[in-house]
Amino acid sequence: MAARAALVLRDNDTGSLVTASPKLYPHMWSWDAAFISMGLAYLDVRRAVAELDTLLAAQWRDGMIPHIVFTQDTDYFPGPDRWGTDAAPQRPHGVRTSGICQPPVHAIAVRRIVEIARKTSQDDAEEAEAFAERAWSSLYRWHRWIVRHRMPDASGLVAIVHGWESGMDNSPRWDEPYAAVLPGPDLPPYMRLDLLQVDDPGERPSDDEYDRYLWLIEQMRRADYHPDRVVETSGFLVGDVFVTAVFALACDTLAGLGEELDQNAEEIAELRMWAARARAAVALSAHPETGMARDRDIRSGRWLSAETIAGFSPLLCGGLPADVESRLMSTLDSPAWSGHPDLLAAVPPSVSPSSPDFDAKRYWRGPQWPVVTWLFGWAFEQRNWPRHASEFRAQGVHLVSDGSFGEYYEPFTGKPLGSTNQSWTAAVVLDWLC
């Protein structure tokens, strides 16, 4: 399995970047690149570092790390022309990107690369540490951008302006806020290319959803991608509890790295403060009895309570009272989630099978995602819950044992869905097995 995973990463490597998948996603995605670089570290630390260097070279001048760094390939829609970011004053030089961001997992990847390199050789360790030192300020600026531009209300949650920013594009989490996004008659026409790459359109978001995705891009273009104007004008503005939990984890991870590498003490203290604030916001969003965290529709002022994997965000970053936290962990283990008797692998589906929103094969509305399993397993290790960490690893390996490196899996049959040979799936398999 590990050898095949390595082959997937090599096959998807264009030289300077590993595409998210061979056909469906022929470009670099921000959070994919972070996971991919960890997998690459098992094969070649220099190549892992080069991957993140490519991503950081596309960082916008105001600090945002964009969600897609485009290659020359034209088989993906929306491509750079539709995004229209070439006109944004703060865009990076010499590379074309999208105009939104994705979950800030990058500091976690750098930490992991350093750990992996330290286990292989002195040379690798030096290479990884030198990179961490070089990348630290860029990552600090990225985190500062989130604090400056994406914490717009008193909930303290990190806000997203597009479902794509959550990484969980069509999750039922976004149904209510998307219902209020009404595409204008001047939405330029377009043709979806994603449906040409999957067996069944039922595995992907619907056309109605795509209209809304494209309409939000149109609104951002009209705001010239100015970060504050985008937040003011976007029809979609939601405090994302999962992104907030990842941000808390990443701030603490970056602060820890900064302490080791002797970085600026004031900036390290800021990161610790941002982590504490984000953790408190996640805890505050949680239902007081069940501990399930909720997103917040900032436009309507309503809490959103879809039964999705994001509800377990407090387990990633902590912050709940101990009794509520252990209740939340029991829910995760229960038949409504990982303990459902008919699951092929005992890892949480993206939506609870007992929820009316559950759809076993549609993307973020039911299938299990190896990369999400990895993230929870990693967090459980940090939180010193070794039993859960090793169960997630073992069951994660079971989930992907067909060897096709699916993007996501049908929870009851184990059928791989979306793309096969998906790079981040191969990367987390390497981390589980090596």
CB 20 within 8 A of CB 28: yes
Bond preceding residue 78 cis, omega within 30 of 0: yes
**Shortest gap between Cβ of 77 and ligand 9WN (angstroms)?**
8
Per-residue binder mask for ligand 9WN (CB under 6 A), 236-275, x = binder: ----------------------------------------
115 alpha carbon, distance to own chain's centre: 21
Residue 167 binds ligand 9WN (CB under 6 A): yes
CB 328 within 8 A of CB 315: yes
- Which of 169, 194, 240, 431 is catalytic? The answer is 169
CB 361 within 8 A of CB 349: no
Residue 20 binds ligand 9WN (CB under 6 A): yes
**Own/partner long-range contacts of 203-210 (Cβ < 8 Å, ≥24 apart):** 203/361, 203/362, 203/363, 203/417, 203/418, 204/362, 204/363, 204/418, 205/169, 205/170, 205/362, 205/363, 206/170, 209/169, 209/170, 209/178
Residue 169 binds ligand 9WN (CB under 6 A): yes
Residue 31 binds ligand 9WN (CB under 6 A): yes
- Please, which of residues 48-87 interact with ligand 9WN by CB under 6 A? 67
Q: For residues 136 and 402, give the distance between their C-alpha atoms in angstroms, rounded to a whole number.
A: 38
| Furthest C-alpha separation in the chain | 60
Stretch that binds ligand 9WN, among 8-16, 162-170, 276-284, 315-323 (CB under 6 A): 162-170
Encoded tokens for 163: 């479902």
Residue 32 binds ligand 9WN (CB under 6 A): yes
**Shortest gap between Cβ of 110 and ligand 9WN (angstroms)?**
18
**Shortest gap between Cβ of 186 and ligand 9WN (angstroms)?**
23
Amino acid making up residue 199: D
Judged by CB, which is closer to ligand 9WN: 173, or 388? 173
CB neighbour burial string for 12-34, b if at least 16 within 10 angstroms, e if fewer: bbeeebbbbbbbbbbbbbbbbbb
Backbone dihedral region for residue 327 (phi beyond 0: left; psi -120 to 50: alpha; all else: beta): alpha
Residue 165 binds ligand 9WN (CB under 6 A): no
SS3 249: helix
Judged by CB, which is closer to ligand 9WN: 22, or 152? 22
Residue 25 binds ligand 9WN (CB under 6 A): yes
Q: For residues 384 and 202, give the distance between their C-alpha atoms in angstroms, rounded to a whole number.
A: 39
**Shortest gap between Cβ of 138 and ligand 9WN (angstroms)?**
20
- Please, which of residues 176-215 interact with ligand 9WN by CB under 6 A? 194
Residues contacting 21, CB < 8 A, separation 6+: 12, 407, 419, 420, 421, 422, 423
CB neighbour burial string for 56-83, b if at least 16 within 10 angstroms, e if fewer: bebbbebbbbbbbbbbeeeebebbbeeb
E strand spans, 70-112: none
**Shortest gap between Cβ of 362 and ligand 9WN (angstroms)?**
12
**Shortest gap between Cβ of 350 and ligand 9WN (angstroms)?**
10
| The only residue of 28, 29, 39, 427 in contact with ligand 9WN, by rule CB under 6 A | 29
**Shortest gap between Cβ of 255 and ligand 9WN (angstroms)?**
26
Active site residue 260: no
| The only residue of 35, 131, 140, 164 in contact with ligand 9WN, by rule CB under 6 A | 164
Stretch that binds ligand 9WN, among 29-37, 39-47, 52-60, 256-264 (CB under 6 A): 29-37
- Phi first, then psi: give them for residue 97, nearest 5 degrees: -140, 170
Q: How many residues bind ligand 9WN (CB under 6 A)?
A: 10
Residues contacting 94, CB < 8 A, separation 6+: 57
**Shortest gap between Cβ of 339 and ligand 9WN (angstroms)?**
26
Judged by CB, which is closer to ligand 9WN: 263, or 420? 420
Backbone dihedral region for residue 187 (phi beyond 0: left; psi -120 to 50: alpha; all else: beta): beta
- Please, which of residues 387-416 interact with ligand 9WN by CB under 6 A? none
Stretch that binds ligand 9WN, among 28-36, 52-60, 181-189, 286-294 (CB under 6 A): 28-36
- Which of 203, 267, 407, 410 is catalytic? The answer is 407
Active site residue 407: yes
Tell me the catalytic residues: 169, 407
Q: Kindly list the residues in this chain that would bind ligand 9WN in the complex (CB under 6 A).
A: 20, 25, 29, 31-32, 67, 164, 167, 169, 194
